[in-house]
Structure 1
Amino acid sequence: MSTDTSGPAGTRTAGAPAVPRPRAAPTGGPPAVPASAGPRPVPGSDYRRTLLWRVYDGVAQLVDHRVGWDRLPRSLGLAVLGGLRNILRRENLSDPSSRVPVVDASPVPPRTPQHLVARSVDGSYNDLDHPDMGMAGARFGRNIPLDNVLPVTDDELLRPSPREVSRRLLTRTTFQPAETVNTLAAAWLQFMIRDWFSHGQGDTSRLVEIPLEPGDTWWEDPMRIPRIHTDPTRPADADGPVTSINEVSHWWDGSSLYGTTPEEQQRVRTGSDGKLHLTEDGTIPLPEDPAIDPTRVPGWWTGLGMFATLFVREHNAVCDRLRAEYPDWDDEELFQRARLVVSALLAKIHTVEWTPAITSHPTAVSALRINWFGIAGERIARTFGRLSGSEVVSGIPGAGTAHYGVPFSLTEEFASVYRMHPLLPDDFDIRTADGDRPLALLAFPALAGPHSREITDRFALGDLFYSFGTTHPGAIVLRNFPRSLQSFERPDGKVIDLAATDILRIRELGVPRYCQFRRLMHLAAPRSFAELTDDAGLAADLEDLYGDVERVDLMVGLFAERRPAGFAFSDTAFRIFILMASRRLNSDRFFTRDFRPEIYSPAGLAWVRDNDMRTVLLRHLPQLRPALRGVDNAFAPWTRTSA
């Protein structure tokens, strides 16, 4: 989710500049290591390629095609999902650098002893043998074979018109709620995306012009959308798939809190006891300088600020705990250990709380918990620790690091399926946590951009979390895109149709259309519009706009298809989750081989073990206890506190 004109996320968050600053070449010490000019061999290319595994995986795929993993008993469904993940790990990880090497990339800083035990500010040295892997400025990977990345032609960009797709298929006429989750799920996703990826601001020197159809009252004709920043280092005559650069670290490292450059990190740190800056009333400071004011970065809104404030408070609480346990630690040691702890806690919450809430099928919930705790389960993990080095038995955290033969990166397809703007409601019912008394009914623009400052001043943080926790987000389906985002005024005054922009962004990154994407995810493609959706009226409208089911956009198909029971999004998108939800843990040294007391400290690991979204909320906002009573997952609807 985002409200920018470039990618799924804006550039930075709390206290960070609107445009990331390039990393300066290091001075002094050993010479900088030049970033890789091409692919480097990484271990794991032989992952489960024996005949026995291939037979198992083939049977799993056959059962999935004939029956569907979601229609099987839980144990059989888990076995099928395991086979599907094996296939995806072997066949759906591609490194564009093998075809289009990065040139003029920022140098990798010199290695220091601190890289062995702490996350670097820019993501370098997570893999000590491949220090540039996943660092800020590294290219996005792909979940499709590189030969299947579509060429970016005018026909691909403009047929059918992204604006007409927005108007005719995405416009919300009646709000369709996602009743199994609360609105915090929408805010959390934005908070996570700001940590994961940014394509940067749009390139205003290159515009895509979209002619308007008769009757369209858009403010300019043609509609002009800045092109995304594809790889700025790519030679003009390079032969290879379109690709782009992630401006933030690819690792799950809390960069939305801690920054990706030394300047950003210095700005958020107090320099005392490892802590981050908070105002006297316990909120994140918002600078007045437009160059570093996060509320002026497209994509910022109240929900993002709420979680940023909450987890800055959590970071400082971790620092207090570590300082009490290890009184001789200095500011740097406290900061680095607390960063590790909070980053791991964010990953745990997303893995075992947010994703199970939004994919609340029993088999999917079990699979996600196995990712973190293994089949041994949480109780065994808490009591005895790891029983085995196997990720299946005892979970991924603490298991061996695995790249599956491809350098780790986030992918363009991962970014594409995370375009879930329908989660945002158009209106927000703000109420008190004490008694559920109404305070205000606000349209989304009142909570977005610089207006979010007024919301922070006007309402208590506990009341905002209560209001989000007791209301529903939108369902991720067609004709449920927030109206306010189809005519949204960015902080710079430009009015955009974010629905049309989402469609355009996926096309210009060469992501295949829906039917071909299904095939590349090892799924059958619909042969007609009637097979795509059982809504006859919608099928007719799709056919009228696209003509050929093969032309249906990925996002449109994802929103249209049948969803497994309990799912807020599509089974096709879930295939990317099956692969990438594990990979982001498997490849990260600090979640695998270095997820241990010597790195985190015993107290730090205990903090990750003993906490979840509910304990974080109640530590900093104890007034939410009545609303959270009896709620097993903080992203499920809370109890209203009215009599």
Structure 2
Amino acid sequence: MAFWRTYDRIAELVDRRWRWHRLPRVLGLATLVGVRNTLRRENLYDTGPASGAPDPPPGPPTPEQLAARTVDGTYNDLTKPLMGMAGSRFGRNVPLSKAFPEPAGRILSPSPREVSRTLLTRSALIPATSVNALVAAWLQFMIWDWFSHGRHVSEDPWVIPLADDDPWPDRPMRIMRTPPDPQPVGSAAPPAYVNTLTHWWDASQIYGTTREYQQFVRSGEHGKLRIDADGTPPIPAGDLDPTREPGFWLGLLMLQSLFTREHNAICDMLVASYPDWSDEELFQRARLVLAALIAKIHTVEWTPAVINNPTTVTAMHANWWGLAGERISRVAGRISDSEVISGIPGSHTDHFGVPYSLTEEFTAVYRMHPMMPDDFDLRSLTDDRGHGQYTLRELSGPASIDLIGKIGHTDLLYSLGTMHPGLVTLHNFPRWLQEFQRPDGKLADLAATDIMRDRELGVPRYNEFRRLLHLPAPATFAELTDDPAWAREIEQVYHGDIERVDLQVGLYAEPRPAGFAFSDTAFRIFIVMASRRLNSDRFLTKDFTPAVYTPEGLRWIADNTMTTVLLRHHPELRAAMRTLENAFQPWSKVRTAPMG
């Protein structure tokens, strides 16, 4: 223990002096190991059980719960069966004493609408040219699995005064509040909030978190999920209809469709090996395999694509395969108990002394709306001719269903694969999200809402956030950003007080490491939480075994990538993807040679 504390302290000093991403790869990796150790030890905090937690807790697990994911996320940890279930509280990455929202007189200063208009408004897309727009769709696909604060309450909204020249149609602007979980009487803890989804990486965006939804999506035959003739999952009516939820758009539906078909392909593979298995057994094994495959794609493909630095690419691959690498993992399996040598999947489960949950800070750094383009040029794979120009608003909500029927999955995937998303930076917030039309027809400025969410949830402002993550805080606006014009704009909005700069503004303004689509400060939360989502999940650690997944299931996970999934269900895409190492890199445009 003394050795590692000394090691971690040296790593922190090296990082402060030279910055990990400027070091040679081996030294950069060694530094990140120490940084992660410190974050695991000092930046994981439990907020306690939710007010609606069962009392007494549930009994011993059934045989089915021992070897399959439950619909609501219970019994992942067999000693604490409620850990991480849907309806659990979000944890924190900052001390609870630092997680109180500011008092009413300060929390609205400066105006989140002024921050939105002056610092976040996009005049033209600032593209992330090293990746394609599927990274934005994938991000939303993950978020719909990971976290939701539920429906916001309309009573007692935040009231935002507007400038005289502000064109917003409703005066004043109102932003709905996030409902906190009731606190015990006399509690000195900050407000806590509930995740309506499970905290686990369990593909709940496909399978749901209620029995009602799961029964709707299942076909009842051979473990498969229902899918319509056009390749789209059927949409339930009423309160279960996901197209009526804020944030539903075409990219999300495309990936839900793709991985619904992948689930069914896994079922076909399992039926071939186990023809006598029941529908339930096939469904549960296929769900385990699909959820692990999604986790693998995010870990070793999506994340390295958006933080494409040689050190972080190696680090993310090591999370899955260890420093021994994929080749040794495939040939020899685990050669060490160490997650550093042989990766996290198949290692021992570890909560690092704190009950597992996703955190408010994790949610905050995933507010990456600038990745979304405003305008989409939808084109044909056959000849690259246009299907038409569409705005993000036209691709959102129930309209996305009709558009898939009109254009088809293959051409839509091709269109996003050959487009660029936006950089997560200032002056790059999608204009259609600054005038976002909610399902109830009312408008919302999501840029102002993002700023207000961090404030109301007690996420510290930028400088304090950095200090709590063991990073130096800029003393001047010129130190915050390498763009002098941005420094002047930020200083004006925050009236010369660097300590008031909001987290999102600081994250978007700071210089990024080479190859990064987002900030190094945000990456600090990923360092601890990206591995924690794997470390704490027994189905990705001690139960990542042939007995639970089947040998065929583990081979499926090992053999497949985002590229193989896409080409299995859309082999026509091969021409556009033929030169790629990573499916999230820009695809080649396919053009038909002119006649004659």
Supply the AA of the counterpart residue of 1:79: A
Q: Does 1:596 align with 2:596?
A: no
Contact 1:450 1:491 in 2 (8 A): no
**TM-score (norm. length: structure 1):** 0.90
- Which position in structure 1 is the counterpart of 2:469? 521
Q: d(CA) in 1 for partners of 2:413 and 2:429?
A: 23
**Which amino acid counterpart does residue 507 of structure 1 have in structure 2?**
R
Q: Is the 8 A contact 1:140 1:409 kept in 2?
A: yes
Identify which of 213, 216, 221 aligns with 1:267. Answer: 216
Which portions of structure 1, spanning 4 or more consecutive aligned residues, are displaced by more than 6 angstroms? none
Shift of 1:102: 3.2
Give 1:244 deviation, angstroms.
0.2
Equivalent position of 1:247 in the other structure: 196
User: Is 1:635 matched up with 2:576?
Assistant: no
The letter of the residue matching 2:550 is: S
Partner of 2:293: 345
- Residue 52 of structure 1 corresponds to 3
Measured in 2, the distance between the counterparts of 1:229 and 1:337 equals: 36
Q: Give the letter for the 1:525 counterpart.
A: A
- Cα distance in 2 for residues equivalent to 1:443 and 1:425: 9
**Could you tell me how far 1:133 is from its partner in structure 2?**
0.6
Partner in structure 2 of residue 177 of structure 1: 127
Q: After TM superposition, give the deviation of residue 201 of structure 1 in Å.
A: 1.2
Task: Verify: 1:197 aligned to 2:147, yes or no.
Answer: yes
Distance 1:106 1:222 in 2: 42
- 2: CA distance between counterparts of 1:565 and 1:57? 24
Q: Supply the distance in 2 between the matched residues of 1:454 and 1:474 (Cα, whole angstroms).
A: 26
Kept after mapping to 1: 8 A contact 2:123/2:428: yes
For 2:205 and 2:95, the matched residues in 1 are separated by 31
Match of 2:109 in 1: 159
State whether residues 163 and 210 of structure 1, in contact with CA within 8 Å, keep that contact through their aligned partners in structure 2.
Answer: yes
Instruction: Report the more deviating stretch, 494-503 or 533-542.
Output: 533-542
Counterpart secondary structure, 2:155? strand
* Cα distance in 2, alignment partners of residues 369 and 346 from structure 1: 14
- Which residue pairs with 1:217 in the alignment? 167
Measure, in 2, the Cα distance between the counterparts of 1:236 and 1:425: 46
Structure 2 distance, partners of 1:128, 1:106, is 16
Report deviation, 1:93: 0.2
Q: Contact 2:73–2:85 at 8 Å: present in 1 too?
A: yes
> What's the counterpart of residue 573 of structure 2?
624
Given that 2:36 and 2:528 are in contact with CA atoms closer than 8 Å, whether structure 1 keeps it comes out as yes
| Structure 2: distance between partners of 1:113 and 1:518 | 45
8 Å CA contact retained: 2:380, 2:387: yes
2:483 is matched with which residue: 519, 532, 535? 535
Is contact 2:230–2:405 with CA below 8 Å preserved after alignment? no
Structure 1 residue 285: Cα displacement: 1.0
Counterpart of 1:70 (choices 21, 26, 38) is: 21
**Greater mean deviation of Cα atoms: 396-405 or 290-299:** 290-299
Q: Is the 8 A contact 2:101 2:455 kept in 1?
A: no
Alignment partner, residue 82 of structure 1? 33
The residue number in structure 2 matching 1:381 is: 329
CA contact (8 A) 1:156 1:507 kept: no
Within 5 Å, give how 1:357-396 maps onto structure 2: 357-396=305-344
Structure 1 distance, partners of 2:211, 2:141, is: 21
Q: How does 1:428-507 map to 2 (within 5 A)?
A: 428-507=376-455
After superposition, residues 216-365 of structure 1 pair within 5 angstroms as: 216-231=166-181, 233-235=182-184, 237-287=186-236, 289-365=237-313
Query: How far does residue 236 in structure 1 lie from its aligned partner after superposition?
Result: 6.4
Looking at structure 2, the residues matched to 573 and 155 of structure 1 have their Cα atoms a distance apart, in angstroms, of 28
Could you say what secondary structure the match of 1:96 adopts?
coil
Q: In 1, distance between residues paired with 2:211 and 2:102?
A: 36
Quote the offset at 1:450 in angstroms.
Answer: 1.4
Q: Give the letter for the 2:11 counterpart.
A: A
CA distance in 2, matches of 1:420, 1:481: 9
Deviations for 1:81-109, whole angstroms, at most 9, x for unmatched residues? 00000000000000011xxx533324655
What is the deviation of 1:237?
A: 5.0
How many angstroms apart in 2 are the aligned matches of 1:619 and 1:155?
A: 57
Deviation string, structure 1 residues 225-284 (Cα, Å, up to 9, x no partner): 1101211x3246532112100001000001000011111111111111101110122211
Q: Which residue of 2 aligns with 1:140?
A: 90
2:552 alignment partner, SS class: helix
**Secondary structure, aligned partner of 2:238:** coil
The residue that corresponds to 1:404 in the other structure is 352
Q: Which amino acid aligns with 2:396?
A: A
Structure 2: runs of 5 or more not aligned: none
The one-letter amino acid of 1:164's match is: E
Counterpart contact for 1:400–1:593, Cα < 8 Å: yes
| TM-score where L is the length of structure 2 | 0.97
RMSD: 1.1
Report the equivalent of 1:42. Answer: none
| Cα gap change, 1:192 to 1:156, in 2 (>3 Å) | farther
CA contact (8 A) 1:294 1:300 kept: yes
SS of equivalent residue, structure 2 residue 240: coil
Stretch deviating more after TM superposition (491-500 or 614-623): 491-500
Q: Tell me by how many angstroms 1:434 deviates.
A: 1.6
Aligned residue type for 1:94: Y
Match of 2:366 among 395, 415, 418: 418
- What code does the residue aligned with 1:95 have? D
Kept in 2: contact 1:449–1:490 (CA 8 A): no
Q: Shift of residue 509 of structure 1?
A: 0.4
Mapped partners of 1:372, 1:537: distance in 2: 41
SS at match of 1:291: helix
Matched, 1:608 2:557: yes
Q: Indicate the percent of aligned positions where both proteins have the same amino acid.
A: 60
How many angstroms apart in 1 are the aligned matches of 2:214 and 2:408? 27
Q: Structure 1: how far apart are the matches of 2:278 and 2:401?
A: 34
Name the amino acid aligned to 2:140. Answer: Q
Stretch of structure 1 that moved more, 472-481 or 272-281 = 272-281
